[in-house]
Amino acid sequence: MSLISFTADRCTLTSPTALPLAAGFLWNPHMMIHMTARGYATAQFMQPEPSKYARAQIMEAKHFMLPEQGTYAHHPGRFFYVKDRETGGLFSAPYEPVRAPVEAFAFEVTPTDIRWIIDRPGLRIELTLTLPVEDACELWEVTLTNSGKRDRKVSLYPAFPLGLMSWMNQSATYDPKHAGIIANCVTAYQKIEDYFKNKNLKDKVAFLSEQAPLAFETRQARFEGEGGLHKPDAIMAAQMDNGEALYENPIAAMQFDHDLEKGESVSHRFLFAPAFDDTEISRLKSLYLSADGFANARAAYAGYISAGAKSIHIETPDPHLDAFVNSWLPRQVYYHGDTNRLSTDPQTRNFLQDAIGSVYVKPETARKTLLKALSQQHANGSMPDGIRMYDGAELKYINQVPHTDHSVWLALLMEAYLDETDDYAVLDTLVTDVETGLARTVRDRISAANQWLIQAIDRRGLNFIDQGDWNDPMNMVGWKGKGVSGWLSLATAHSLRLWSQILESDGRDGSTFAGAAKTFNDAMNTHLWDGDWYGRGITDDDVKFGIKADTEGRIYLNPQSFALMSGAANSDRQARMVAAITEQMETPYGVEMIAPAYTHMREDVGRLTQKFPGVAENGSVYNHAAIFYIYSLYQVNETEKAFELLRKMLTGPNDEDYLRRGQLPVFVPNYYRGAHRQHPQASGRSSHLFNTGTAAWLYRSLIEGLFGLKGCREGLRIRPQLPPDWPSARVIRHFRGATFEIDISRGTPGLTVDGQAIAGDTIKDIVAGKTYYLRVNI
């Protein structure tokens, strides 16, 4: 049996131990859950700030998820113990915390739910987790089957640890009215004003059963006893004690005894959710906790997921890639655009780049994102470090640190949005900003953002970096006010070129911005071309870095990518850059962001140099940076290299690669471990973080680069760049309300539409609702 089977509809892992961090994720507009194959969970909901409802045993920082997040015995989990009352034999599903051997194991991630099927001698347990659309709420269905040759006396014990809810006030008890365990706490505060904010928080957690349990336990310590989670005293006893948690860490544990004849099955449904009060608990129970309630919730959730329309459907010689592109990647793109990563102050750059993905799955979301961002533009034309999603939201964490790149992403989003929709009317839309209360058109606002970039320069004509650009932890290059970013200067040139082209397409004069783009490119070629690649920047102390003279951090990927996009690099420089990257930065798992990785603090670069070599920004295969490079390679027709690196972003399809990376192929992660030449034994490991700007750019690179199906004012341009070993491919492209069924083959170059040869490479005068049949020879 293969370790992993993978299709557009399902990804199945057949071992609970081979990939211990393997996981899937579900979300709705109010919550997210990252669920591992072994039974651990990281889940948050919005109220309106991100909050947890199942916690660790001790206080932890409020991180959404950590990279390469390890699990431990008391990591928040969803456990289902099963005990044979005749023999005392015990196991737990999905696998933790008993870790008993299994005869067969299947962890199944689908676009709309997460499932397990686990076979033990004579018993099968099936678990299904799904979410509703309109509530922060987990819906669990459990079926226990006697698959053996004799009758069995078994007990089922769902056990959901709640951890340390509050050091001020926490408790839990069983409520027979709800057939559920209700935990209560008081969110701690110090400042008086926080008391009034906290009054509206959901400080209750409900674990409800459709059937009344035989017994229960709500005291974590008494539940575990001397046996711990591995062999809890409460479960090994004949019956739980019905204990009430009084200022102690609670657990929601229930006991159900069953006598199962051969072949007999029994099913249970459970609901796990945060709640504000008893009224809300009653509403959730009434709405969901029944066979019909679960069925209705599943149907609604399937409809919600399908609302993220797919721009393309592909059939290629690579079925593994087909499955990812046809289902899992647009799902990840949709998640980002629809939830803003479940943040109330998304970084502006993330907010705008995630919207680039929305262009292809839900363009109305991209439009709303653009207008929301511009409503918070500063009077000087610059963009803020984060976008406040509601009145009163605060800029937190990294958004309190001044960065200089946020304005460049406006033109990049506009290019993608206008090419896909031809909605040039958006440029005349008036937007009133919060800071000044003035109404200005989208066109004027994006022009102002680019004009701000033009003037935010030093004596060389390079952009200041302040305490970071796209690379957040590059925080000490320019904190004294003099350091500059080579990457940002190239990104500015790219933004200016795009904006000038958009203005020209709109019948306006874009020459000022086009001229400024050339000036930035010239400045980079004068000051930061290092012979074979571009330097990353110049510090406050006038020291160039990311150059050949450096022993660590000699070459950075991003300047090379944007030099290709901006037009700074001529053909000779392009060839030199690609050769240098191939030699110094490529790995079996993708292309690294920096090479060699830093091994000690460099105080004129910043905290990225304190990160472990090969982790995150310090030389990992940081997929967001990698996809910039891949996208840029498609722009200059480096077809073979672009696809080679693109394909490495997807885990599998062989077991060796799965085991090395440790991740299912249901999303592209933030990074894979790098520093391949320094620490080859660790390279390739996945971060398991699915919040990443990679997803949007990857979908765009596939649609517009690999398959060459890019919109323009005239219509749909057809310029495929298939890898050399593909003889053909078939694509269905949804574009401006029409459907294009496209067969791409090798032969004498030409294009036919509905059997008629046409001149050029652009389909014009597109009629919404029509299906076009295209044959493309390349």
Query: Are the CB atoms for 211 and 179 separated by under 8 Å?
Result: yes
3-state secondary structure at position 125? strand
Sign of CA dihedral 573, 579, 583, 589: positive
Tell me, what DSSP letter sits at residue 388?
Answer: -
H-state helical runs in 456-552 = 486-505, 511-527
**Cα angle 470-471-474, degrees, rounded to a multiple of 5:** 135
Is residue 218 within 8 Å of residue 174, measured between CB atoms? yes
- Give all strands of the β-sheet with 79-84 in edge-to-edge order: 90-93, 79-84, 152-161, 250-260, 215-219
CB-based contact 532:548 (threshold 8 Å): yes
Which of the residues 135, 469, 472, 550 is marked catalytic? 472
Residue whose C-alpha is closest to residue 404's, from 466, 479, 448:
466
Angle (CA) 74-79-80 rounded to 5° is 150
413 vs 356: CA distance, rounded Å: 5
* Catalytic status, residue 472: yes
CA dist list (Å): 83 to 89, 140, 153: 6, 20, 9
* Nearby residues of 506 by Cβ (< 8 Å), 6 or more positions away: 424, 427, 443
CA dihedral angle for residue 161, residue 166, residue 170, residue 175, rounded to 10 degrees:
-50
Give the tokens for residue 666.
């249901």
Query: Cα(713)–Cα(683) distance, rounded to whole angstroms?
Result: 44
Q: What number of CA atoms fall less than 13 Å from residue 375's CA on the CB side? A: 16
Task: Select from 23, 68, 21 the least CA-distant residue to 620.
Answer: 68
Catalytic sites, residue numbers: 472
